[in-house]
Homo-oligomer: A and B are copies of this chain.
Amino acid sequence: MDLETYLKKTADEVNSLLQDCYGEPKTALSRAANHLLFAGGKRLRPALFRMAADAVNPGSSARIMLAGLSLEVTHNFTLIHDDIMDKDEYRRGKKTVHTLWGEPVAILAGDVLYARAFQHICQADASEDAKVRAVSLLARTCEEICEGQQQDMSFEERDDVTRGEYLDMVTKKTGVLYGTAAAIGSLLGGGTDTQVDAFYNYGCKIGAAFQIQDDLIDLLEPSDKSGKDQASDIREGKQTLIAITARELGIDLRPWCRSLDREGIASLITMLNEKDVINTVQRESEALISSAITGISDLPETPEKRLLADLAWYFIKRDY
C-alpha cells in the first residue's frame, strides 16, 4: 500500500472510531469539544502510531487503535487552547471554538479533550505496564508542548532567538507529540525499549522538520496555492529558521518587513536564494528527516518500515 492510500485508510478508520466514541454528544460542552475534532484533519499522529505498532509487531495495531485516538485528541486540545491564546478566528476552514462558544467554554472544551486523551490510553488492549508508561510519556509530552507554546509566544517579543532555541521550541511544540505517537504505538504494540526510544526520536525529528517546512511554505508558496498570506512571517518579524539563518549570515530582514507586495516577495526570495539562506534551511530539515530514518534502520523489513521512510519525506515534501 502506498503512503497516500495508507493515510486515507487510517483517517477513515480514525473518523469512524471518533464517531463511535463521541458521535452523539449529550451536553453543550461535548458539542464544543467535538467541533474541531470532527472538522477534519489528516490524522497523521494516529497513522504514525499505527505504523510504529505494526512495524515492531505486525498486526498489533488492530487491538490498540483506541489508544491511537489519544494522540489526535491531544493535538486537538492543544489547538483549541492555542487558538484562544493566538486569538485565531478560523481553523481547518471553520470558526474556532472560542469564536463560536466564547473563551470560557473553549477552555473547558480543551480540558475535556485533555481528559479523553488519557482515557483512550487506558482503553487499549495492551499490558498494564505498557499503558502506565504510555500515560507517563503522554503527560511529560503535554507539559513539554505547553513549554513549547510558551517559548513560541515569548519569541514574539525578541529579535535575537538562536538556532538552538528555535529548534528546541519546534521540537517541543510539534516534535514531541509525533515522537510520543510513534513511541506509544511501538510500546503498546509490544516493542523493545530500544525500539520505543528510536521511535520517539524519529517522531521528534520529523515533527521539528515539519515545522521548519511550515516556515519555508510561508515564504515560498503563493497565497492562492497555500490559502495563507504569503511571507506573513517575515512581515510580522517572526523568528523563523529563515530569519535566524539570515541574521547569522549578517542579513537584516527588518527593512523587508513593510510593503512586501508580490514583487517585494519575489526580490526577497531571490536575495535569500543568492545568499544560500533558503538552501541552508532546507538542508537542515532534510538532515532531520535523514537522521530520523537512519534512527529506525534496525527495524525488521516490513511494509511499515518503508511507509515510515515515506512518511518522513512526506513531512517536508508537502507544499501546502
Contact = CB atoms under 8 A, between A and B. Distances in A.
Given A27-B147, A112-B146, A143-B112, A135 B153 contact: no
Nearest to A128: B128
A234 interface: no
Given A121-B135, A135-B118, A135-B135, A84 B107 contact: yes
A131 B131 CA distance: 9
A154 interface: yes
Interface string A126-155: 011101110110111111001101100110
A36 interface: no
A122 interface: yes
B107 A81 contact: yes
A235 interface: no
Given A135-B135, A140-B119, A146 B111 contact: yes
Interface string A80-121: 010011000000000000000001110110111011101101
A309 interface: no
Nearest to A78: B111
A103 to B, nearest CB: 8
A28 B140 CA distance: 17
B81 A146 contact: no
Contacts of A29: 146-147, 150
Interface residues of A, number: 41
A81 B111 contact: yes
Contacts of A85: 103-104, 107-108
Contacts of A110: 111
A50 to B, nearest CB: 21
Contacts of A154: 28
Contacts of A133: 122
A139 B119 contact: yes
Contacts of A118: 118, 135-136, 138-139
A153 to B, nearest CB: 6
Contacts of A28: 150, 154
A104 B138 contact: no
Given A84-B103, A112-B146, A119-B143, 10 more contacts: A27-B147, A28-B150, A81-B108, A108-B149, A112-B147, A115-B142, A122-B133, A127-B128, A131-B135, A132-B135
5 contacts: A108-B150, A110-B111, A112-B146, A112-B147, A132-B135
Shortest beta-carbon contacts, A-B, top 9: A128-B128, A85-B104, A115-B142, A122-B136, A119-B139, A118-B139, A115-B143, A29-B150, A115-B139
